[in-house]
Amino acid sequence: MANFSALLEMARSHAEPQRMLFVFAKTEDAGDLGMTLAPVMYNDWPLDEISDFAAIVAETQAAGFDWDIVCVAGFAGNGGRLPTPEQADERLQIMVKAIHQGELGRFLIFDRQGEAVHLAPRTGPH
């Protein structure tokens, strides 16, 4: 996935309604361990409420959150029903935990311009 626009295009091609899950994070230098991520905010939006990446950035800025990258996952509904906000919150908590543990492989990651970011996994002792 090269950018957020491509993700939106792909997500909109699915038959079931979806919520998009976002965990916004600051990057931090951890010395010999390399870069770590510190989640600062998370949110979900129904796919049909997302116009583009600029709208997401504007909303986070209006809320006063500073972030460097965002981890994104889709959460599809079932039987034509959108997942509930409570179900999305459970998934977001799982995402935050995974990010704290350095398990980023299951998420798409974008910078503030909506371009895909590829982070190398940590190596060596943790």
Query: What whole-number percentage of the chain has pLDDT above 90?
Result: 76
Q: Is residue 116 part of a domain?
A: no
Q: Is residue 46 part of a domain?
A: yes
Question: What is the domain extent for residue 28?
Answer: 4-111
Residue 14: pLDDT over 50 = yes
Pick left, alpha or beta for residue 89 (phi over 0 → left; psi -120 to 50 → alpha; otherwise beta).
alpha
Q: How many domains does the chain have?
A: 1
Q: Is residue 39 part of a domain?
A: yes
Q: Is residue 101 part of a domain?
A: yes
Q: Is residue 121 part of a domain?
A: no
Q: Is residue 122 part of a domain?
A: no
Residue 106 confidence (pLDDT): 87
Q: What does the pLDDT look like over 45-83, one tens digit per residue? A: 999 999 999 999 999 999 999 999 999 999 999 999 999
Mean pLDDT of 2-25: 94
